[in-house]
Amino acid sequence: MATGKIWNGGEVPVIGDSLYLSIVDEMKQPKGIKQGKAWITRLPTPLNILQAESIGLKVAHALPFSAEDPSEFEVPGDVITESNFVKDNSLMGTKSSTKQIQFSLKKLDRMHDFNTIGDLDEAGEFPRKYYCMGQTIEIVRDATWAKTDSLINLYGALADGLSTIDGIEAFANNENGVTIRVDIDKIKNFKFVKPPYTDASDTISFTTDGLTYLKFGNDNFVGSANRLFDKDNNLIDFQEYTNKISLSKFLI
């Protein structure tokens, strides 16, 4: 820089040499002078958070706004000066359009007067098999369950099994049953069968158009007991059960 000539080799300047300049001193005294106006440069990135609508953020531009003065740029209109992020309830890796319904099945063992694990033991009910969406869920007697334990242990195991089916989430409720959530983007025809599989009262099925209605099958699941409830825990009676029901009663 002192001579204007290209260095063609030789000894590298060392500390104390007139040509030596430490990187610390160089960074403290930058000698560059801005020439002209700046321009916008965009670089590709694999980061989802910077991509519009990838995690539920609706934006007009992929990147957040800049605090720069637009007059300092060659094309002032390219500089984003206002934040336009609009957050919704979507989660990373999910679709904001997913539709999920919820219903609860209760008192599934009421007709047989089973209330504890011991009741099932005496009746020789283990292992127990349930059927859902063409899959078999077998519940084996867990050695840690006491005979006096309630059936929530059994239905907790059933809920875990149901949750392994794509498009279904389930958890045990406190009334000898399970609460089930179904992704109706994936499942439009649902079927669940409980023991002892003797008649239509052991089967619950439905179809839905995914938009306006849900129609239960020609079985008798609610005919013998109050066992089916909507998302708000309201009882579905026999008259509703035999007709199309508004999807809004189940949609969450």
- Any bridge partners for residue 104, and if so which? 179, 229
Contact (CB, 8 A) for 110 and 176: yes
| 33 pLDDT more than 60 | yes
Q: What is the mean pLDDT of residues 184-192?
A: 95
74-128 tens-digit pLDDT = 888 777 666 555 555 555 554 445 789 999 999 998 777 899 999 999 999 999 9
- pLDDT level of residue 179 (50, 70, 90 thresholds): very high
Q: How far is 242 from 37, CA to CA, in rounded Å?
A: 72
- Residue 27: alpha-carbon gap to chain centroid: 48
pLDDT(8) > 50: yes
> Is the link from the previous residue into 46 a cis peptide, with omega within 30 of 0?
no
* pLDDT tens-digit series, residues 124-152: 999 999 999 999 999 999 999 999 999 99
Note the Cα 71 to chain centre separation in Å.
44
Cα gap 167→181, rounded to integer Å: 8
Place of tokens 């160089």: 26
pLDDT at 205: 93
Q: Which of 222, 197, 188, 216 is nearest to 136 (CA)?
A: 197
The more confidently predicted of residues 8 and 238 is: 238
pLDDT at 89: 55
Q: What share of the chain is helix, strand, coil (3-state, %, to 5)?
A: 20, 25, 60
Instruction: Give pLDDT, residue 128.
Output: 94
pTM, to two decimals = 0.62
